[in-house]
Amino acid sequence: MRLKTLEISGFKSFADKTRIDFLPGMTGIVGPNGSGKSNISEAVRWVLGEQSAKSLRGSKMPDVIFAGSADRHPLNRAAVSITLDNSDHYLKSDYTELTISRLLYRSGDSEYQLNGQSCRLKDITELLMDSGMGQDSFSIISQGRVEAIFNSKPEDRRNIIEEVAGVYKYRKHKEKAQRELDDTMAYLHRVEDIIAELEGRVEPLEEQSNLAQDYLDQQQKFALLDRTQLVRQLHTEMAQKQTADTQVVAKQAQVAAHQAAAQEQAATVQALKQQQTELLAQKDALQEKLVTATQQVEHSQGQVNLSGEQQRHQDEQRQQLQAQLTMLSQQLTTNQTDLAAVQAESDQLATTMKDAQDAIRQLTAATDPQVVTDLRQQLEDQRTAYFDQKQQVANWRNQRQYRQQDQQRLQQQGQRVAQQLTQLQATAQSAQTAVTEIQAKATAHKAQLNEAEQALDAEAGQYQQHQKQYQALQHNWQAALEVYQRAQTKVANQQASSAEYGGFYQGVRAILKQRQHFRGLLGAVSELLDVPQRYTTAVEYALGGQLQQVVVDDETTAKAAVGYLRDHRAGRATFLPLSTVRGRQIDRQTLQLLHSMTGYLGVGSELLTINDQAQVILQYLLGTTIFAANLDTAVAISQRIHHRYRVVSLAGDVVSASGAITGGQSTQSHSSVLRQQQELQQLQASIATMQQQLTDQETKIKAQRVALQASEQRSQALQATINELQPQCRQLDDQLANAQTTLEQANRRVKAAELEIQQAHAGETDEQADQLAEQIVQGEAQITETEAAVKTLQAKIKQVTTAQAQQQSELTSKQTWLAGAKERQQQQRATVKQLQADIAAAQTDQATATTKLAELERQQALTPADAQAQLAQAQADRQTIEQKLATTNEQLTTVNDDLAAAETANQRTSGLLQLANDELQQAQVSQTQLAALIDQQQNQLSEKYQLSLAAAEKDVSDLPADDLAVQLKLLKRGLDEIGTVNLNAIDEYREVKERYDFLTQQRDDLLTAKAQLMTTMTELDGQVKTRFKASFDQIAAKFTATFRHMFGGGTAELVLTNPDDLLTTGIDIMAQPPGKKFQNMGLLSGGERALTAITLLFAILQVQPVPFCILDEVEAALDPANVTRFARYIHQFQDQTQFIVITHRKETMVQADILYGVTMQESGVSKMVAVDLDHEETRTEGK
């Protein structure tokens, strides 16, 4: 492989696109300081993936973009492309020429390309890995790189050998494995810590879980039986309540009937009393009138008898009226006093009733079942707290007892272990000696095994390569087979569609399916035409539906086909009988004109072919259709022939003979029967090609399989060789492992003994035990407080239950009294009304007497005649009043009798009402008690089991009542015997056990991963050691020989600073130039050190040649003689390495085959000029 070209554009001082062609031989690049020579080597380093802006002499990566000059603006992009000749496939790529490009924009965007295709930096790095052209490789060597060799530390110089040995990828793999191992170990330690914590919890939790599960099983059985008992009790009580409800309804109806009767009788009594009052008032009035009339008669008689006594009589009458007024006043005062008393009593009764109603409301609230429910919930909470406290105290006691036992055990064990410690230490020392001896033997045997394994690794790499190729071939074959099968499926589908004449009109399809019944039927036009693919679109749009016209031999066949379509109602079709259809053609003059026009393709009948029998059909359909290249030429042709014929373009645009233009593009893909037939033919041709390709692929696969089997056989032979060596190594490994195990066990025992002794001393003073004792005392105090609270709540519940029973009785009594008080209040209201009526009557009589008295005062003494007339009138008035009074007395007697009877009936009804109310109250009390009991038991069912009655009825026991009671007692006793349990232990144990099992599995997986990683790292270390040692030995030998050649004598050596540790050893350079002593390179002069470093680079190139090497002023510190020797020595490697030397030393320029000059004709912009020195020399010699 060699470097062909380098293209630079916008990179540093190369503002213009610059191309450098590298020919075979040594290429020199020269130019004055600051001209941009080194920018070429940096461009190569940059395009190969350099990521350090500092190494490119910049502060940030965009600094590599041309920054402008006095006459030029800055550029926005830098681009570098390097082309490599990979015809020998030096790089692992199938390409014979590789072009790697890198672009960077000032915005920071960048891009890598490989042969013009975008790729990643990783792809470039992997392509160049171990090729000698990667980072830190020797394909680009600057003066600073030479100085770094003799200025660096010995440990840093080993990187040079590692690059040659190609262990970079092994180091990367090991670093990755080490990171994975560190992560694995960190996670393993965490897992082991968690497992150690969980191991102490699993067994106690398992015991607690089993006990809790037993408790739950018995509790579940107890709950079932308890629910059954509650359900049965509820059914009984609900039946009793239903009976009580019926009784209450009946009693309420009876009370209502008695109340209605009482109200009716009270109304009757009230009406009779009102009537009695009215009659009494009427009687009193009549009696007063009778007295007045009698008095008037007597007065008149006196007037008649004794007119002189008239005055005396008036005086007496006046006295009587005054006495009557006095009596009425006293009666009115009495009635008013009675009315006030009755109203006061009524008001007091109302106040008492209000107090009774308030008391009833208070008693109703006091007898609320929720009070007892809340108290019972508080009691349950206290019991739960009590059980938790008991459990905690029990745990603390167990911990204290355990620690006490542990302290005793540790003290006894410490005494015993102290006696064994000396013996254990001696055993550990013996085990260490055995491990050292076995390790030495194992190292020697493994060295022999490594050589065999390296050979197997090489064969394994070849086998993997064969396997990758085989898999790639197989993958390609499967992909090709899938494409082939899809094509076959598509062909089958299209053949099926063709067999069914898919895409044809209904009538045409029906005729073609029955074509065997019509001998003269040739087929559809699309079936008979042979259309080149170029003209397919034009023919489709030119003919359109005519492609589905059916060609027949004569009219008879056409008529038969039409009759078939009509009889079967199968659609319509157009038939072209050969006997009647006449072809059409363009006249000769027009044809001559068309041939001279641009864009003319031909006449359709000449461009297409058809079945020989149907040639006339082609002439008929396309004999006058002209094909043009495009629409423009079609329009031009149509205009030139004066629109006499139809013109169609290849795109399907049609210019008709009338001048109309039809064209455009449909939004949907157009698939006509003609195109379907062409696609089918193309697919069939493709399938034939695919079959051949599949056959070729299968042949390659078989050949690759044979190669794979041969490689596998060679690997098996090598493995057999390794198998002979491995038993000895395994035996030594086993012995070493056993010895190491013995050593580890002995060390662990020593450490365990020392730890046990420390624990024994530390356990003598246990502060935690004292703390546990204090916690136990505090816990027991809390238990005592909780017990007191439980007892207090139990007493309060009992007190509240008793008080509610008493209050319920008081409530019933007050409700009964209130009902009677309401009746008394009704009677008082009637009495008030009666007194108010009596007061009104007395006031009326009082007004009448007052009026009479006033009248009497106005009367004067009468004459005897007037007195006689007055007497007669008075006697008549008295008689009338006596008759009315008799009638009133009779009515009053009747009313009194009716009133007495009504009052008797009313008293009897009131008694019955009172009895009915008492019975109703008793029934309501029973109903309320049953409802409260049912509600209480339903609440209990809901609170204890979170079930309704309907839900509880679905899951009950069928045990008889007696057996149920016995089982409940036994289960209750069993639960009491189990005592307090930790119900959370079930879930906790399950979670802990699941986590413990999971973490145990994780630990096993991590240990396996650790072992695998350790094995991988060991194998990688072995590879690194082997490759490093082999490369070092080769380079050291070449370095010694090259040193003598470069210095013209003397000697030099590469020395390992730590030969026993090939993974970390440094490298010292010892040199003895001619005439000097053998000494470290650091003691040489500057020129000698530079030449020694260059010598080492030449030695490395001999061991691992690189395709090309760019030397950037590496010989700047050498004197002319050494520069000449340096330049001549380069020519020895021209056959294996292409050298590009950047220099300003004349001695080097002379040895170059091609010389490029870098100049800055324009300030800040580098330009290239080239000279072929061999050609110039030859031309000079020819002259």
Strand 550-552, strand 521-524: pairing: antiparallel
In angstroms, rounded to a whole number, what is the distance separating the alpha carbons of residues 1071 and 597? 90
Identify which of 1024, 1019, 1104 has the alpha carbon closest to the alpha carbon of residue 456.
1019
Dig out the tokens for 231 from the structure: 């359900």
CA distances (Å), origin 372, targets 157, 362, 383, 795: 92, 16, 16, 12
Q: Binding site: residue ranges?
A: 32-39
CA-only gyration radius of the chain, Å: 66
CA gap 898, 890 in Å, rounded: 13
Pairing of strands 654-655, 661-662: antiparallel
Q: Which residues of 1078-1108 are buried (b: 16+ CB within 10 A; e: fewer)?
A: eeebeebeeebbbbbbbbbbbbbbbbbebbb
The secondary structure of 1099-1123 as a DSSP string is HHHHHS--SEEEEESTTTTS-HHHH
Measured between alpha carbons, how far is 416 from 858 in angstroms, rounded to an integer? 149
Q: What gap in Å lies between CA 894 and CA 253, rounded to an integer?
A: 35
Looking up tokens 């662990």, which residue turns up? 748
Helices 536-543 and 615-622, axial angle in degrees (round to 10): 80
List Cα–Cα distances, 1173 to 475, 1155, 1157, 1158, 1168, in angstroms: 53, 7, 12, 16, 16
Give every strand in the sheet of 654-655, ordered side by side.
600-603, 625-628, 646-649, 654-655, 661-662
Contact 466, 704 (CB under 8 A): yes
Kindly report the number of other CB atoms within 10 A of residue 302's CB atom.
Answer: 20
Three-class HEC string of 567-622 = HCCCCCCCEEECCCCCCCCCCHHHHHHHHCCCCEEEEHHHHCEECHHHHHHHHHHH
Strands (DSSP E) along 442-584, which ranges?
521-524, 529-530, 550-552, 575-577
DSSP assignment of 452-475 equals HHHHHHHHHHHHHHHHHHHHHHHH
Q: Which residues line the annotated binding site for ATP?
A: 32-39
Closest-CA residue to 41 (of 128, 116, 143): 143
The per-residue DSSP string of 279-347 comes to HHHHHHHHHHHHHHHHHHHHHHHHHHH-STTHHHHHHHHHHHHHHHHHHHHHHHHHHHHHHHHHHHHHH
The Cα–Cα gap between 1119 and 1147 comes to: 10
Q: Which amino acid is at 780?
A: E
